[in-house]
Structure 1
Amino acid sequence: MSPKEDLEVRASRPIRPLPNLIFMSRWLQLPLYLGLILAQVVYVFHFWVELTDLIGAVLGDASSLAHILSAVSIDGAPRGTKLTESTIMLVVLGLIDVVMISNLLIMVIVGGYETFVSRMNLESHPDQPEWLSHVNASVLKVKLATAIIGISSIHLLKTFINASAYDTKVLLAQTGIHLAFLLSALAIAYTDKLLAGAHGPDSHH
């Protein structure tokens, strides 16, 4: 019997009850991904609230300005009374931060569902993400690590823009945490490269 015929015979066999139960348990993850979709909705709402306040503050709305200044202020630091370039930059970085976290959520929702729950059969869909065509646990892990580094970079940039409001220990701690994220991502990518090389050229992503 050829390997192809043997594979077809195995595929035609019914799955035994216990393995089938274990395999079907993957659907327990579905409520988790649905919950992340709701979290995405919350982030979309938060993004538009912040953007509306920023536009209102630029147009001179006092309540929007107060909300913006309160949002970018640091506990114990003096609050400004007007919209400055630094304030606008901090708000915009906050919006970018929300977008990057949303991108991270999409990668977890779509990539995680495709990898661990069920195929989505998007191969012929014109809007299929490029990375989804070759997604697996290793690729998803590297992409998530890269996204976390991007989010950490935004937070670190926000801190350094408003560095006068922070203690030196806080600045050093945030820089150290960011470097730890970076080294972790490099280690994950290097480990994935080693594993891909160990399994031959067919395993390269």
Structure 2
Amino acid sequence: MEKFIETMMYRSRWLLAPIYLGLSLALFALCIMFFREMFHLLWDIGTIKETDMVLLILGLIDLAMVGGLLVMVMMSGYENFVSQLDIAEDEEKLGWLGKMDSSSLKAKIAASIVAISSIHLLKIFMGATNYSNDHLMWYVIIHMTFVVSAFAMGYLDKLTKH
């Protein structure tokens, strides 16, 4: 009975595969949104104010960073928890693929969240006239919470490795 339970638990990791596949669909949706925003930028290029253009570009950078985060989670998560990716020898392989354990994945996710939050905060500051001081204060507090959390996670990881 014990062997059966252990075998079923081990094989149940494959239930994660559709979740990682779903993340690839989310990446596709993000790609559509990116090019929709790019179209708006190019369509309005002659009439758009400089500040609005910078805000649009920051939004594009934000989408690109979220896309990179999705790829990182999708591929590393699959390799760490489901199965190794069988990539042909003649096909290009990402340098970090197969080298990122769950600890380094967490660190990269935390750093990506801080970077995404930084871009979002910059967008908010550039349009600061639309926000009250209380809203701005809370955005900064939330961002600093991400920064402190990422730092604490990195520090604790460093402590546990020594």
Normalised-by-shorter TM-score class: over 0.9
Of residues 155, 169, 173 in structure 1, which corresponds to 2:120?
Answer: 155
- TM-superposed CA distance for 1:128, in Å, is 2.4
Q: Which has the higher contact order (CA 8 A, sep 6+)?
A: 2
* TM-score (norm. length: structure 2): 0.93
CA contact (8 A) 2:69 2:112 kept: yes
Query: Which of 95, 107, 122 does residue 142 from structure 1 map onto?
Result: 107
Aligned equivalents of 2:117, 2:88: Cα separation in 1: 33
Decide which of 169, 173, 181 is 2:134's aligned counterpart: 169
Question: What amino acid is aligned across from residue 106 of structure 1 in structure 2?
Answer: V
Structure 1 match to 2:150: 185
Tell whether the 8 Å contact from 1:123 to 1:133 is kept in structure 2 after alignment.
no
Deviation readout 1:71-98 (Å, 9 max, x if unpaired): xxxxxxxxxxx51100000000011110
Structure 1 counterpart of 2:28: 41
Partner residue, 1:89: 54
Find the counterpart in structure 1 of residue 38 from structure 2. 51
Q: Does 1:102 align with 2:67?
A: yes
- State the secondary structure of the residue aligned to 1:134: coil
CA contact (8 A) 1:122 1:128 kept: yes
Q: CA deviation at 1:126?
A: 5.7
* Structure 1 position 111 matched with structure 2 position 111: no
Aligned structure 1 segments of 4 or more residues deviating by more than 6 angstroms: none
TM-score in terms of structure 1 length:
0.74
Q: What amino acid is the match of 2:38?
A: L
Question: Secondary structure in 2 aligned to 1:132?
Answer: coil
| 1:129 Cα offset (Å) | 2.3
Identity of aligned residues (%): 39
In the TM superposition, what are the counterparts of 1:64-83 in structure 2 within 5 Å?
Answer: 82-83=47-48
> Once the 2 structures are TM-superposed, how far is the Cα of residue 31 of structure 1 from its aligned partner?
1.3
Q: d(CA) in 2 for partners of 1:124 and 1:103? A: 24
Unaligned runs of at least 5 residues, structure 1: 1-14, 60-81, 198-205
- The alpha-carbon distance between structure 1 residues 34 and 93, as it changes in their structure 2 partners (threshold 3 A), is same
RMSD: 1.7
Query: Which has the higher Rg, Structure 1 or Structure 2?
Result: 1
Q: Which moved more, 1:37-46 or 1:123-132?
A: 123-132
- Letter of the 2:22 counterpart: G
Q: Secondary structure at the match of 2:92?
A: coil
